[in-house]
Amino acid sequence: MFFTLRATFQTFTRSASAAALLAAGALAPHAALAAGSVSFIQAVEPAGLDPTEGSPVAAGQVTWQNVFEGLVTIDRDGVLQPQLATGWDISEDGLSYTFALRPGVSFHNGAAFDSAVAKFSLERILAEDSTNGQKALYSVIDSVEAPDPATLVLHLSHPASDLLYWLGFPAAVMVEPGSAESNGRTPVGTGPFKLDEWRQGDRVIMSAFDGYWGGAPALDTLTARFIADPQAQVAALRSGQVDGIAEFGAPELFEQFTSDKGFTTHVGTGEMEVVAGMNNAKPPFDDVRVRRALMMAVDRALLVEAVKSGFGTPIGSHFSPASPFYEDLTDAFPYDPEAAKALLAEAGYADGFEFTFKVPTRTYAQRSAEVLQAYFAQIDVTAKIESSDFPAAWIQDVFKDTNYDMTIIGHAEPLDINIYARHPYYFNYENPEFDATIAEIAEAATPEARAEGYRAAQELLAQDVPALFLYSEPKLGIWKSGLTGVWENGPVPANDMTDAHWVE
């Protein structure tokens, strides 16, 4: 894997170079077509607006790409693109990454972006007292060097084929020393929008940053409105208070918008896989036959129908169709209650068994659990449903203390199949072959080898069933007619509005 640094725009893939040309100004990507404003609904209000602190999801859904940018980024198709770095060169041993940084970039407060700032940003993630929830993704970085203002060099402790991808993730956006500490309240980034005001409990108002390196965005103002309740979301959309929502959580209320001329609806794929995790260390779930039998007891297509009004895709392993590495493995253990009963009998549970199903207080989880309970009953397995307050109680009881038999949760991070190789992790899943596969992916020298590794990892999980793979969450978008340029799919949890604009 070798890329020349001198050819500034030669990058990872062909599409990436095209985007680099775009970004370099051959075609302004944020060309101002028409002025205007957009306000969108964000269900969860983040605790802080800095995606490099705490959990990045909710913060990133407001500020990633809009306010903050990274060295690289991930586009709407899940493809890596250059951003504040115009190109990079990876040494043959995969241990050093040399980035060429974009000149003439400045932060909203006027501070200039250069290699010292980039070095500061990355070292801040890695610091001893770092409170970046995703720190582990970058721990492979041993040291950061800034030989000149336009060049940044990363030295790795071992090869990590996913690192570039993670550098495009919200948790690794560039921040500058003068404002880093206060970014949670008053974020200062290099993005096309700057923060005007955060009215806590209500909204975040952003406006176009006229010093943006890519030219002014099409919109003058951008507002994130925090509305948690789906009924209230519908009311806000219908009354015209807001212009859209990227991830509408109540599929049963979605249908009314599909026939409405005032709105356009978009059914995209998200990155969230809903899985019923089992405590693989605890009998009877330590027996792979029991796990397979439970998987065969469930008709996933009907589950999706019942829980998500048919929106969503049944999955057979831990990747969603949004992932570039996705493989359809739902055939591994298809719905077959007779075979499931036979397999249970073989495992010594001819009369079934009883277990506690700890279900987080989330609508999709509660509904899915009830459907699963009925399917399990068909093979004489009794699930006793116990509600677990989410996030507080669930994270403590199930996730940290692994004090559970079976649970159900959506995993939203992309490329997170490696969680099954994490020890400890709440599945308590131990498979040296799987761990080795994950290690091979990290060391993969070519994109093909990396893809091959992810394929093998998915297949191993499909066979071992450490969790019941149920469905991938759809991304249901509702937008006021005339608004275009919004992401339909969700390769990264985000509301990237940098290309959004109004057309007649």
Partner 1 sequence: MPALKKLSRQIGGLVITLWIASLVIFLLIEAAPGDAASIMLGTNAAPDTVAALRSELGLDRPLLWRYAGWLGGVLSGDLGTSYTYGVPVAGLIADRLAVTVPLTLIATLLSILISLPLGVWAANRPNGPVDTLASLFSQVGIAVPNFWIGLLLILGVALGLGWLTPGGFPGWQAGIGAAFEALILPSIALAVPQSAVLTRVTRAAVIEVTNEDFVRTARAKGLSRGRALWRHTVPNALLPVVTMLGLQIPFLISGAVLVENVFTLPGIGTLAYQALSQRDLIVVQNVVLMFTLIVMVVNLIVDALYTVLDPRLRGRV
Binding residues for partner 1, per CB under 8 A? 45, 47-48, 54-57, 128-137, 139, 184-185, 199-202, 225-229, 231-232, 235-236, 238-239, 241, 389-393, 395-397, 399-400, 413, 416
User: Which one, 234 or 383, has the nearer CB to partner 1?
Assistant: 234
How many Å apart are CA 222 and CA 36, to the nearest integer? 9
**Contact present, 487 and 500 (Cβ < 8 Å):** no
Closer to partner 1 at the Cβ: 393 or 451?
393
Kindly state the smallest distance separating residue 217's Cβ from partner 1, in Å.
25
Encoded amino acid at 77, one letter: D
Bridge partners of 388, per DSSP, are 360
**Which residue's entry shows tokens 């964000």?**
42
Cis peptide before 424 (omega within 30 of 0): yes
Q: Considering the complex, what minimum distance in angstroms separates the CB of residue 46 from partner 1? A: 9
Cβ 44 to partner 1 shortest distance, Å? 9
Residue 383 has, within 13 A of its CA and on its CB side, a CA count of: 28
SS3 420: helix
Pick the closer one to partner 1 by CB: 396 or 446. 396
Compute the least distance from the CB of residue 393 to partner 1, in Å.
Answer: 4
In terms of CB distance, is 128 or 448 closer to partner 1? 128
193 vs 399, which CB is nearer to partner 1?
Answer: 399
What distance in Å separates the CA atoms of residue 413 and residue 300, rounded to the nearest whole number? 22
CA dist., res. 270 & res. 475, Å (int): 5
Closest CA to 132 of 160, 169, 179: 169
- Structure tokens given for 11: 């990058």
Specify whether the CB–CB gap between 30 and 217 falls below 8 A: yes
- Phi, then psi, of 390 in degrees rounded to 5: -110, 140
Which residue type sits at 114?
D
Report the length, in residues, of the chain: 504
Nearest approach, Cβ of residue 441 and partner 1 (Å): 17
Smallest distance, partner 1 to C-beta of residue 228, A: 7
Cβ proximity to partner 1: between 54 and 82 the closer is: 54
- Measured from the CB atom, the residue of 113 and 257 that comes closer to partner 1 is 257
Residue with smaller CB distance to partner 1, 130 or 373: 130
Cα–Cα distance measured from residue 249 to residue 426, given in angstroms and rounded to the nearest whole number: 26
CB atoms within 10 A of CB 424: 9
Number of H helices, E strands in the chain: 13, 20
User: How near is the Cβ of 300 to partner 1 at its closest, in Å?
Assistant: 24
With contact defined as beta carbons under 8 Å apart, do 356 and 384 qualify?
Answer: yes
Q: How far is the CB of 77 from partner 1 (least distance, A)?
A: 24
Consecutive H or E run containing 74: strand 72-74
Smallest separation (angstroms) from partner 1 to the CB of 241: 6
Least Cβ distance, residue 254 to partner 1 (angstroms)? 17
Residues 6+ apart with CB under 8 A from 133: 53, 54, 55, 56, 171
Short-list 63, 106, 88, 70, CA closest to 13 = 88
- Nearer to partner 1 by Cβ, of 47 and 281: the residue is 47
Q: How far is the CB of 458 from partner 1 (least distance, A)?
A: 20
Largest CA distance in the chain: 71
Taking alpha carbons only, the member of 65, 40, 42, 77 closest to residue 488 is 77
Q: Give the strand pairing for 193-199 and 263-277.
A: unpaired
- Residue 193 CB, nearest distance to partner 1 (Å)? 20
User: Least distance in Å: CB of 401 to partner 1?
Assistant: 9
Give the other-Cβ count within 10 Å of 503's Cβ.
10
Instruction: Give the chain's end-to-end CA distance (angstroms, integer).
Output: 46
Report d(CA 367, CA 352) in Å as an integer: 23
Q: Count the Cβ atoms, other than its own, within 10 Å of residue 4.
A: 9
